[in-house]
Amino acid sequence: MNHDHEYTPSNGFTKWLDKRLPLIRFADENMLSFPTPKNLNYFWTFGFILTLCLVTQIITGIVLAMHYTPHVLMAFDSIEHIMRDVNYGWLIRYIHANGASMFFLAVFIHMFRGLYYGSYKEPREILWILGVVIFLLMIITAFMGYVLVWGQMSFWGATVITNLVATIPVVGESILTLLLGGFSVDNPTLNRFFSLHYLLPFVIFGVVILHIWALHVTGNNNPTGISVKDSNDTISFHPYYTVKDLFAYVVFLLMFSYFIFYNPNILGHPDNYIEADPMVTPAHIVPEWYLLPFYAILRAVPDKLMGVLLMFGSIVVLFFLPWLDTMKVRSARYRPTYKIFYFTFLVCCLLLGYLGGQAPEGIYLFLSRVCTIYYFAFFLVVMPILSKYERPSPMPIGISNPAINNNLEMDDNLVPSGNN
Amino acid sequence: MTDTIDKNDPTRRDFLYITTAVFGATGAATVAWPLIHQLNPDASVSALSSVEADISSIPEGGSLKVAWRGKPVFIRRRTKEEINIAEKEDAENLPHPEKDEERVKNKEWLVVVGVCTHLGCIPIADKGDFGGWFCPCHGSHYDISGRIRKGPAPTNLEVPPYEFVNENIIRIG
């Protein structure tokens, strides 16, 4: 990146501080004058939105933990206590519960943006992998948080998901017992889930710092996917993107507020307002909406172990994306064939989400199977083949130069000039 | 000693490195084990692993659900007809082949852990295509011997360790 601006401490104190702990310099280089491609669209605001989602969850979570009791006899009642007795408890809990949904909504958009514009490609492989790590941690954290409510869906969701571990040959049962601290989901399970649900967001926070660090080494991708060449291609992060990000966040908050204030339970399941009963299984066990696509994959497979492997595989495959799609052209904007497969994939994921909430029989089961096959085929078949045979459409020379690049040496166009 | 030192020969320093590493690793493992083992069932959980049930009031064709290790156990008093069906179906092509007689101590009484072997839901009695249980979560069908007949569950309903204390009492665990 071209640094056409360097931080100069302005007064005695900042000069003194800069020599000892260059905090302001760090903030200036990474947040204020950070050179950012000038053509980023609103899909690029979700990184900022996600950071604030995490902060919101941590703050509301810490407050909720002050009023919650992690014991099987009191957990459910303490949630009702928060809802009815604690001052603004209802607000804080609804922010936290719907905040999780908003967090996942934002992360899905963020990931699909990366998938469309090729943000996982060289040199951003580590950046992408850290993102997948964050996504995995988010799933684990959200799952444990949902169990804390200790409603019927909490209990039976926990039973079904922890039982996935028992499918591991030979040692599965022992690991399951170790995980639960008993022979079924019970008080020891609730206690440790509470402890881990408190811990993991801070782990996520740590990985987010690494994620942003990696981003600031390579710099942002952009809608053209063409690497930044010089300072003509960039503008400083502040004020241009601080304002754009904040505006997007305000719009995001409007939608978030609709759920908090007008429809706070629409994304949850009514059965979770029934206290957990280890002796009665609800008729339909469904996870939260953001896990439905993975649940649909699990149920699409008639074999227990294979179902579990495919469900985990659907996330693990994301780690290998940079090496499955080796096409040098990053952005789908210049990949007409990829674009078709991409949108089919998007529809397939949404459909899996719908199917995950339906009973696993008849046409639903059939469609789940078709979508599961396409899900994996997209990564394992379509991507490698397109990388080899797809002919990209004409591309401009650079972010600031719309003239068509007739030089087919694409590499030249895509290799980052960051260290020049 | 006057001979030259061969660089490939182990030195006293190598010995120190290896010894230190081994001690360090052993120490780490020693500390790690309590931290891992504390996750396993504690004494109070293990203490609850036996339960007695009074079966004197169960009519023929009726059943009782008792909690054992936090899981339900189905105790079913089967009718003559049901026993006949269960034994006749021994010959069928079962996903998890087990004879009915291997699964009971007294033909009249079927005792199984009421937890679906798929992902741990509780099957519903007198439902499904085989006259036994049906799991609503992912659609596994069990017969009147608790054997898996159709659906994603890999094995038959587990038979817990149990014994008849006397005519009226069963001890599970």
Chain A contact for B18, CB < 8 A?
A: no
Q: Which residue, A299, A401, A290, is CA-closest to A349?
A: A290
Instruction: At A293, list the tokens.
Output: 């696509």
A259 vs A42: CA distance, rounded Å: 22
> What pLDDT shows up at residue A1?
43
Does the pLDDT of residue A377 top 90, yes or no? yes
> What pLDDT shows up at residue B5?
66
What are the chain A neighbours of B36 within 8 Å (beta carbons)? Answer: 178
A120 vs A126: CA distance, rounded Å: 8
> What pLDDT shows up at residue B2?
55
**Does residue B138 carry a catalytic annotation?**
yes
In a domain, B144, yes or no: yes
The 10 Å CB-count burial string (b at 16+, else e) for B77-113 is bbeeebbebbeebeeeebeeebebeebbeeeebbbbb
**Contact in structure between A48 and A248 (CB atoms under 8 Å):** yes
User: What interface predicted TM-score (ipTM) does this complex get?
Assistant: 0.74
| Residue A228 pLDDT level (bands cut at 50, 70, 90) | very high
In a domain, B140, yes or no: yes
Tally of domains within chain B = 1
What are the chain B neighbours of A178 within 8 Å (beta carbons)? Answer: 36, 39-40
In a domain, B81, yes or no: yes
Which residue among B39, B69, B136 sits closest to A281, beta carbon to beta carbon? B136
**Contact in structure between A55 and A103 (CB atoms under 8 Å):** no
Chain A contact for B137, CB < 8 A?
A: yes
pTM metric for this prediction: 0.88
pLDDT, tens only, A87-110: 999 999 999 999 999 999 999 999
In a domain, B8, yes or no: no
Does the pLDDT of residue A64 top 90, yes or no? yes
Tokens 């499904």 correspond to B128
**Alpha-carbon distance A357 to nearest alpha carbon in chain B (angstroms):** 11
Tokens 């209802």 correspond to A90
> What pLDDT shows up at residue B50?
83
In a domain, B62, yes or no: yes
Q: Which distant-in-sequence residues (6+ apart) come within 8 Å of B130 by Cβ?
A: B141, B142, B143, B144, B149, B150
Phi, psi of A324, deg, nearest 5: -90, -35
A290 vs A356: CA distance, rounded Å: 10
Domain of B165, in residue numbers: 46-172
Q: Which residue, A180, A145, A174, A150, is CA-closest to A162?
A: A180
CB contacts < 8 A (A, B): 85
Does the pLDDT of residue A14 top 90, yes or no? yes
Q: Which of B37, B96, B138, B141 is catalytic?
A: B138
In a domain, B6, yes or no: no
Q: Which residue, A94, A361, A356, A115, is CA-closest to A225?
A: A115
Mean pLDDT of chain A: 92
**Contact in structure between B145 and B155 (CB atoms under 8 Å):** no
In a domain, B162, yes or no: yes
Rg, chain A, Cα only? 24
Instruction: At A155, list the tokens.
Output: 């209990």
Domains and CATH numbers, chain A: 41-282 (1.20.810.10), 286-388 (1.10.287.980)
| Residue A418 pLDDT level (bands cut at 50, 70, 90) | very low
The 10 Å CB-count burial string (b at 16+, else e) for A201-232 is beebeeebeebbebbeebbbbbbbbbbbbeee
In a domain, B28, yes or no: no
Assign residue B74 the CATH number of its domain: 2.102.10.10
The 10 Å CB-count burial string (b at 16+, else e) for A137-166 is bbbebbbbbbbbbbbbbbbbbbbbbbbbbb
Which residue among A184, A302, A359 sits closest to B152, beta carbon to beta carbon? A302
> What pLDDT shows up at residue B139?
81
Q: In a structure prediction context, what are the per-residue pLDDT tens digits for chain B, which is 173 residues long?
A: 556 667 778 889 999 999 999 999 999 999 999 999 999 988 888 777 788 888 888 888 888 888 888 889 999 999 988 898 888 888 778 888 888 888 998 888 999 999 988 888 889 888 888 888 998 877 889 999 999 998 888 889 999 999 998 888 999 88
A317 vs A95: CA distance, rounded Å: 32
A14 vs A12: CA distance, rounded Å: 6
| Residue A417 pLDDT level (bands cut at 50, 70, 90) | very low
Helix ranges (H only) for A3-124 are 12-20, 23-27, 46-65, 75-84, 89-117
Alpha carbon A411 to its chain's center: 30
| Residue A419 pLDDT level (bands cut at 50, 70, 90) | very low
> What pLDDT shows up at residue A414?
52
A265 vs A251: CA distance, rounded Å: 21
**Alpha-carbon distance A134 to nearest alpha carbon in chain B (angstroms):** 24
